[in-house]
Every structure is written in C-alpha cells, then in structure tokens.
C-alpha cells in the first residue's frame, strides 16, 4: 500500500466506517449510482440519497462529436449539492464528474500531442491548470488521464492517450495524476483523477472502437498495464473500466483485472466506475441475462459505481435481499466511494465559490502554458535544405497559406473538448499574418482551391498548406480503415507541387497518418496533432523561428495502413524482417516505418558520442555526450533503449527505458545520464509473474528508436 496515498489515511477510514454503519441498503446503493443531470433536476432522488454522483454531460460522446452538453457552472452544482448536504438524511455530498481531458477552457494539445512533448513536467502543469479551471466550475472529478497504449492508429481513441510506449505512458500517467490531484486532493483547485480505460482497450481487434481484445496476459501486463500501475502508485483516486471484452470476459465483469490485479496485487484503495452504460452492456455482450444479473456480476468483479445504466440503483437492493449478492460486496464498494469523497474534502467544503471561475479560467498564464505545450508537441518530420525557420533574409517572402484547416479555429482543439470555445482561438492563417515579421507577406487564400488560386500561386514563393483530419475523424467511435489523408487533400498537394511552388505542410491529426507521398512532395512537414487553443500562434512561432521544434513521435508512423499494427518494441521472430528473402515482411512494401518512434527534427543538429557503461553492484550507469552541432540553441530528447538478448521468452528488439531533455546552446555538450536496475529489466515470465533473468543486455543511447550509440552489459 502506498503510504503517502490520501486514500489510505486512518482518519478517513474511521469516518467511512461511522457513515457506513448508519446507512440503509438503499442509501448504500445510491452512492454507487451515477446519473446524468436532468431538467427538471432529480431533487427527490438526491434528497433520498439515491444518487452518489453526477456526470455533467448529456451524451456518452459529448465532446467527441457535436457537443450537446450545456456548460457546467458552480451555481448549478452548488444547488444540487445543497440538497444532498442539507436535505438528505446523512448529508453525504455529491461528486460531480466531467470529461476534462486535455484542458477545461484553456485547451492544450490532444493527449497524443502532449505525449509528443516527452515532457512530463509540462504535462503535469497542464493537468494542474485543467484542474484549477474545472474545479472553479464546480467539478471535482475528471475522467482522465486516458492511459490506453495503442499500437493501431486506425483506432480513433489513440488521440486521447499517450501513444504506443508503456515507459513514456507511465511517466505521463504519473504527471497527469499529480497535476490533477496535487499532493492534497481536498484543495479547492484539485480534481480526483480517473485512470481509464482499464485495461487493454487500445488493443481492440482491427482498430475498431469497442471491439474485443485478445492479447496474452503477458502482453497486457508488460505493455498495457504499466501506465495504470503508475497512476495507481501516484495515488489516482479512481479508475474507469473499459467497454471491451478482454479474452472473453468484458472488463466490467472482469474480476481478475478489477480485483486480483488492481486491488490485491497493486493495493488500489480508490473506486472503479464503469464506462457509460457498460453495466447494462454486459447483457449485450452476452454474459448476463438481464440488468439484475449484470449488476451482480459487475459489483462482484469490482465495479463500484455504475455510470448511468441505472442497473445498480434499480437492481442491487433486491439482489442483496434475495441472497444473490452479499452485502459485504456492496459495503466494500461504498467504502471505496466514501473514501474518495472524504479525501476530496467534499464533506468539509462541498460548495464551489462561484466568483472563482472569472479569476482563473483562460488567464494569460494559462494561455502561455498552452502555447508552450503546443510548441513542444509539434514534430518536425522533414526540413529539406533547412527551409525552416523562415528567415527574413531567405528566399521566401510572399507566402500563401491555405488548405482545409488554415482558417480552422475550434477544430484546433481536437477530440474531447467539452468546454473549449472557437472564439478563443486564432487560426493558423491569422496567426501567421498577425505575427509575420517584415519583409514577409502572408496571403491567406480560400480553403477551396479554384482556378484563381493557381493563378495567385504563380506569384508566391512558398505555400503553407494546413491539411489533416477534422477532430471528429479521431476520438471515440471514430476508427478508420484508411490512414491516408481524407479525400482530395493529396490531389491538392500534388497540384501545388506540380505548379512548382515549394510546400510547407502543417498536418493536424488525431493519429499518425500514412502520408508517405505527401512527405515526399513537401519541402518541410510539421506534424501538429490537434494543438489546442494556442495552436495557431504556436505554429506561427515555429515557422518564424521564435520557437524551435522539439516534439518527438510517441507513436510509429506507418508508410501504409496495411502495416498496422506497427510499433518499435516488437519481437524479433525467427526470420526477422528485412527487405528481401523469406523474412517477416510484405512483398509489396518496404519494411520499416515512415518515421520511427521517438523521431523528430530540430532547427539544429545533435551529435551523440562517448557512451559509457559503468556497473556498480546491481545498478548500471549509462551515459553519453550530446553536442549541439548547429547554430541554434535547442532541446534534445536523449533516449535510452534496451534489449534483453537471451531470455526464457522472446523479448522485444528494443524497449525504451529512459529519456531526458537537454537544453543545449550552439556548440555546447552535456551528458545524458541514465541508470538501470534489475527492476527496470523485469518482465512477465512464463508463469505470468514478474521475473528478472540475469544475462547480457544491449543498450542504445540516441535520438530515436532507430538510431543511437550501442553498448552491452551483463547483469
Ligand atoms: C464514454 C467514454 O468511453 C469515456 O472515456 C468517457 O469518460 C465517458 N463516456 C463519459 O463521458
């Protein structure tokens, strides 16, 4: 058990027990019930203690589709809270939850973009700002961080998560939990975190959202679980179970995952909420006969709160009375929920000061942080002849800006943004025009190319094309079968190229797209994900050199859709992939990705040298010198990869085990230091238990997963 965890405080336990002793069965079940706020509000149900939590949205897809949810305000939450606190028998406060995924009103880059910063400290600051803003609107619980590792970008929800790597994902998990919760969850500017969607949801077969998952327990443990473990160890107050069926057992009824692993192995003290209507969906999956059966299976497995299905509130009391469910199971769930409410300080300060919102929401400081994150999230994939940054003395003065997202504003937010407002955003085209230094001339052209466009292009030196995906093409229920740019965009790029105008491509996307042809045609490519409220200015800063790109891919970029799942930490096979012969390859496509995991260019260059490996007992110290060999000060992300050469199981060809950021002046050299211990080299063995196997390890320090200085050690 984590002793610094606010959920395991003795005083909290005592109050939980006192309350539990006074509760009726109906009141207990009420705590396990989460509802949507209706109009008129369910005041009688709140008074009767039949609702423990509200999810302040009106649809499962709120924020992922056209957002129908009304804004939430402190006054609205306070009014409901007052009824719970002063008019219900025991005065147990309500817990208000909302999807605050990558910012509240100050929208940061999508989580996949934040992952591309490889900067947990910055991500923690973003989560802290999101918490401060949302808490001022009456929210005390966010359904974030989303920690689903994804190796298949057809899956639209890859946008919401940390990418393909468990080590990076774990670092970001800790950062987000710390940012949302701080070291004291009861502070009025903090939110309870909800690590989701436990677990393995990102491995949906075929990349189709909600699809079943059939991966080994070993892969689940080594690849998909680590970020959740990190979130639990960082004190995450709650977890959300996934919609999916893992290996034949839907997670909402999966006792192995929810109880054996989460509670018994990891010592998780908080509570688990189902995903939207997932308790009822156990009937649809075909493992429960009806809602009563589903409610029994879900609670017994370890789902403590039912998100909007109504199955618990309508069925559980009867199931207990008829002897089909033990009251101990109910008590245990209620205990976990009350623990979180107490740790969140709801009993001591249940209301939100309505004046606070105006002071803390979308402040200049928050915008500055959003801009910084957007700078750091953009990945420069190509920069022929150092075309970027655009220099006043360079050859490109008249610059045309267009493409389907050049004028986009709200679209810069990306998926899952309930509270962002388009009017807060300056488009990329406007930001370029507004901030262009002399002697640049920025021509913002129509989004829809026509004959006059090509005529205009005759007189320009450079085209900045803003292409990519609309936010609704990624996120929940937005899987695609084709990873290429949406129809028409390639043709537009080809025609500009044919007109002889050099192209800077800005790609907005919720996933790594297969853009081989477009990358070939462009002179420079900046992959900007969906960069958030300050995305317009951030892109302009990067193009004009006021900021230097430092983003690194948190996912492998495929050449073609048919390559997925494609990820760097695969196993070797007996006939490793090569471009010829009887090897594990496709005969119609070169092997290897378009860009490897960890890749990203800068406006300068870095050299790695002098790798050292020093063993000190059971610890290995690895270092390398990193030199900025160019003329611009910039940040490099030095990455450490390891391979376990011979083991009782086949092991990945490389695994990320460390990274660090170095800010280097031109000509400056710094040392990247890493340490490895047995724990870092432990994996899930043949018996599904953690094992460290002594032996020889290869190690690389370098700029990305397909490069680096190589060494060897034995441990
Ligand atoms: C369904 C989504 O899967 C989940 O991520 C979200 O938090 C809930 N809906 C609540 O909106």
The confidence score (pLDDT) of residue 2 equals 44
At 561, list the tokens: 């859709």
644 close to ligand 1 (CB < 6 Angstrom): no
60 close to ligand 1 (CB < 6 Angstrom): yes
- Ligand 1 centroid distance, CA of 61 (Å): 7
- Ligand 1 centroid distance, CA of 668 (Å): 47
> CB count, 10 Å around CB of 186?
17
552 close to ligand 1 (CB < 6 Angstrom): no
Indicate the pTM of the whole model.
Answer: 0.97
State percent of the chain over pLDDT 70.
98
Nearest-CA residue for ligand 1 atom 4 is: 275
Q: At what angle do helices 291-301 and 278-285 cross, to 10 degrees?
A: 110
- Ligand 1 centroid distance, CA of 604 (Å): 41
SS (H, E, C) 564-607: CCCCCCCECCCCCCCCCCCCCCCCCCCCCCCECCCCCECCCCEE
Q: In the sheet that 379-383 helps form, which strands lie side by side, from edge to edge?
A: 379-383, 524-527, 503-508, 462-468, 398-402, 441-444
- Outline where 195-243 has alpha helix (H): 217-219, 226-233
Which ligand 1 atom lies nearest to the CA of residue 57? 11
160 close to ligand 1 (CB < 6 Angstrom): no
Domain coordinates of the chain in residue numbers? 371-544, 606-714
Which ligand 1 atom lies nearest to the CA of residue 243? 3
State percent of the chain over pLDDT 90.
92
CB distance 230 to 174 below 8 Å: yes
Using CB atoms within 10 A of its CB, is residue 245 exposed (0-12), middle (13-18) or buried (19+)? buried
Q: How far is CA 159 from the centre of its chain?
A: 7
Nearest-CA residue for ligand 1 atom 3 is: 275
The confidence score (pLDDT) of residue 636 equals 98
Q: Which residue has the tokens 């200085």?
A: 709
The confidence score (pLDDT) of residue 453 equals 73
Nearest-CA residue for ligand 1 atom 10 is: 60
The arithmetic mean of pLDDT across residues 368-374, rounded, is 98
Pairing of strands 634-644, 655-664: antiparallel
- Ligand 1 centroid distance, CA of 23 (Å): 30
C-alpha distances in Å from residue 360, one per residue of 125, 184, 266, 653: 14, 19, 36, 47
The confidence score (pLDDT) of residue 676 equals 98
pLDDT at 495 over 90: yes
- Outline where 551-687 has alpha helix (H): none
pLDDT at 530 over 70: yes
Alpha-carbon torsion (640, 643, 649, 650), positive or negative: positive
> CB count, 10 Å around CB of 595?
26
pLDDT tens digits, one per residue of 502-521: 999 999 999 999 999 999 99
Catalytic residue among 152, 209, 222, 275: 275
Pairing of strands 524-527, 245-246: unpaired
The confidence score (pLDDT) of residue 233 equals 98
The confidence score (pLDDT) of residue 134 equals 97
CB distance 377 to 529 below 8 Å: yes
Q: Which of 57, 96, 99 to mutate to test the pocket of ligand 1 (most atoms within 8 A of CB)?
A: 99
476 close to ligand 1 (CB < 6 Angstrom): yes
Which ligand 1 atom lies nearest to the CA of residue 242? 3
The confidence score (pLDDT) of residue 72 equals 85
C-alpha dihedral, 496 to 502 to 506 to 509, nearest 10°: 50
pLDDT tens digits, one per residue of 554-568: 999 999 999 999 999
The confidence score (pLDDT) of residue 1 equals 39
275 close to ligand 1 (CB < 6 Angstrom): yes
Q: Which of 141, 476, 478 to mutate to test the pocket of ligand 1 (most atoms within 8 A of CB)?
A: 476
pLDDT tens digits, one per residue of 161-201: 999 999 999 999 999 999 999 999 999 999 999 999 999 99
The phi, psi pair for 619, rounded to 5°, reads -115, 140
At 238, list the tokens: 């709650």
Distance in angstroms (rounded) separating the CA atoms of residues 507 and 490: 12
* Burial readout 523-550 (b: 16 or more C-beta within 10 A, e: otherwise): bbbbbbbbbbbbbbbbbbbbbbeebbbb
Nearest-CA residue for ligand 1 atom 9 is: 60
27 membership: H or E segment, kind and range: helix 25-31
DSSP 314-358: HHHHHHHHTTSS-HHHHHHHHHHHHHHHHHTTTTT--S--TTHHH
At 457, list the tokens: 């292009």
The arithmetic mean of pLDDT across residues 114-120, rounded, is 98
> CB count, 10 Å around CB of 364?
7
Residue 612: CA count within 13 A, CB half-sphere: 11
Distance in angstroms (rounded) separating the CA atoms of residues 549 and 666: 15
209 close to ligand 1 (CB < 6 Angstrom): no
102 close to ligand 1 (CB < 6 Angstrom): no
The confidence score (pLDDT) of residue 305 equals 99
- 273 secondary structure, DSSP code: E
Compute the C-alpha angle 647/648/651, nearest 5°: 55
Which ligand 1 atom lies nearest to the CA of residue 146? 5
Please name the fold of domain 606-714. Answer: Immunoglobulin-like (2.60.40)
At 389, list the tokens: 């940054």
35 close to ligand 1 (CB < 6 Angstrom): no
Distance in angstroms (rounded) separating the CA atoms of residues 398 and 432: 12
pLDDT tens digits, one per residue of 45-104: 999 999 999 999 877 776 676 666 777 899 999 999 999 999 999 999 999 999 999 999
The phi, psi pair for 295, rounded to 5°, reads -65, -40
The confidence score (pLDDT) of residue 303 equals 99
The confidence score (pLDDT) of residue 496 equals 94
* Burial readout 303-338 (b: 16 or more C-beta within 10 A, e: otherwise): bbbbbbbbbbbbbbbebbeeeebeeebbbbbbbbbb
* CATH code of the domain made up of 371-544: 3.40.50.1700
pLDDT tens digits, one per residue of 594-649: 999 999 999 999 999 999 999 999 999 999 999 999 999 999 999 999 999 999 99
399 membership: H or E segment, kind and range: strand 398-402
CB distance 200 to 213 below 8 Å: yes
- Ligand 1 centroid distance, CA of 477 (Å): 11
Helices then strands, counting H and E runs in the chain, come out as 21, 25
Whether 331 is a known active-site residue: answer no
Distance in angstroms (rounded) separating the CA atoms of residues 84 and 89: 9
Distance in angstroms (rounded) separating the CA atoms of residues 271 and 248: 24
- Ligand 1 centroid distance, CA of 274 (Å): 9
Q: SS3 for 36?
A: coil
- Ligand 1 centroid distance, CA of 469 (Å): 22
143 close to ligand 1 (CB < 6 Angstrom): yes
- 654 secondary structure, DSSP code: -
196 close to ligand 1 (CB < 6 Angstrom): yes
198 close to ligand 1 (CB < 6 Angstrom): no
Q: Name the nearest CA neighbour of 31 among 56, 48, 8.
A: 48
- Mean pLDDT for all residues in the chain: 96
pLDDT at 431 over 70: yes
- Ligand 1 centroid distance, CA of 276 (Å): 6
In 474-556, beta strands by DSSP E = 503-508, 524-527
99 close to ligand 1 (CB < 6 Angstrom): yes
């Amino acid at each position: 058990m984590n002793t610094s965890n606010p959920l395991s405080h003795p005083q909290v336990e005592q109050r939980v027990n006192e309350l539990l002793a006074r509760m009726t069965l109906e009141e207990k079940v009420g705590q396990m019930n989460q509802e949507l706020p209706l109009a008129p509000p369910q005041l009688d149900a709140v008074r009767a203690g039949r609702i423990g939590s509200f999810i302040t949205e009106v649809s499962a897809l709120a924020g992922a589709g056209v957002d129908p949810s009304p804004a939430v305000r402190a006054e609205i939450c306070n009014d409901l809270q007052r009824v719970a606190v002063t008019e219900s028998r025991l005065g147990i406060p309500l817990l208000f939850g909302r999807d605050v995924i990558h910012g509240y009103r100050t929208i940061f880059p999508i989580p996949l973009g934040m992952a591309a910063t490889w900067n947990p400290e910055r991500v923690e600051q973003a989560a802290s700002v999101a918490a401060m803003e949302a808490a001022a609107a009456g929210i005390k619980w966010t359904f974030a961080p989303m920690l689903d590792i994804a190796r298949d970008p057809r899956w639209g929800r890859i946008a919401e998560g940390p990418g393909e790597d468990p080590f990076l994902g774990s670092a970001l998990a800790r950062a987000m939990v710390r940012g949302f919760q701080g070291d004291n969850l009861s502070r009025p500017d903090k939110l309870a975190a909800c690590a989701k969607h436990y677990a393995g949801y990102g491995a949906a077969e075929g990349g189709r959202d909600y699809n079943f998952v059939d991966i080994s327990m070993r892969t689940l443990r080594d690849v998909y679980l680590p970020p959740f473990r990190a979130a639990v160890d960082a004190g995450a107050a709650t977890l959300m179970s996934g919609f999916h069926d893992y290996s034949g057992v839907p997670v909402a009824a999966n006792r192995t995952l929810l109880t054996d692993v989460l509670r018994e192995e990891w010592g998780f003290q908080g509570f688990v909420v189902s995903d939207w209507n997932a308790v009822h969906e156990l009937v649809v999956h075909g493992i429960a006969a009806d809602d009563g059966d589903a409610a029994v299976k879900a609670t017994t497995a370890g789902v403590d709160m039912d998100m909007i299905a109504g199955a618990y509130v309508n069925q559980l009391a009867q199931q207990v009375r008829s002897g089909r469910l033990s009251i101990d199971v109910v008590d245990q769930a209620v205990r976990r929920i009350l623990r979180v409410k107490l740790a969140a300080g709801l009993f001591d300060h249940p209301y939100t000061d309505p004046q606070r919102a105006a002071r803390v929401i979308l402040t200049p400081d928050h915008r500055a942080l959003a801009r910084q994150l957007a700078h750091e999230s953009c990945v420069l994939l190509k920069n022929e002849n150092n075309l970027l940054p655009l220099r006043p003395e360079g050859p490109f003065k008249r610059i045309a800006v267009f493409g389907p997202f050049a004028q986009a504003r709200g679209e810069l937010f990306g998926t899952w943004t309930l509270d962002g407002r388009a009017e807060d955003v300056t488009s990329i085209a406007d930001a370029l025009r507004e901030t262009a230094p002399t002697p640049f001339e920025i021509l913002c052209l129509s989004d829809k190319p026509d004959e006059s466009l090509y005529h205009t292009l005759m007189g320009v030196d450079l085209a900045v094309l803003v292409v990519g995906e609309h936010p609704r093409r990624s996120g929940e229920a937005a899987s695609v079968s084709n990873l290429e740019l949406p129809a028409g965009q390639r043709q537009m790029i080809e025609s500009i190229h044919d007109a002889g105008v050099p192209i800077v491509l800005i790609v907005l996307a919720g996933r790594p797209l297969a853009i081989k042809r477009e990358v070939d045609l462009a002179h420079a490519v900046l992959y900007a994900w969906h960069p958030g409220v300050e995305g317009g200015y951030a892109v302009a800063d990067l193009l004009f050199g006021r900021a230097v790109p430092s983003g690194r891919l948190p996912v492998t970029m495929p050449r073609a859709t048919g390559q997925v799942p494609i990820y760097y930490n695969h196993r070797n096979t007996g006939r490793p992939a090569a471009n010829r012969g009887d090897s594990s390859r496709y005969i119609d496509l070169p092997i290897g990705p378009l860009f490897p995991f960890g890749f990203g260019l800068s406006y300068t260059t870095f050299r790695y040298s002098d790798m050292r490996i020093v063993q000190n007992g059971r610890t290995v110290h690895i270092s390398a010198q990193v030199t900025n060999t160019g003329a611009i000060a910039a940040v490099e992300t030095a990455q450490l990869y390891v391979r376990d050469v011979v083991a009782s199981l086949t092991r990945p060809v490389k695994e990320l085990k460390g990274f660090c950021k170095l800010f280097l002046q031109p000509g400056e050299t710094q040392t990247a230091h890493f340490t490895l211990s047995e724990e870092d080299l432990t994996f899930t063995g043949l018996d599904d238990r953690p094992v460290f196997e002594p032996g020889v390890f290869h190690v690389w320090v370098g700029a990305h997963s397909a490069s680096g200085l190589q060494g060897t050690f034995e441990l």
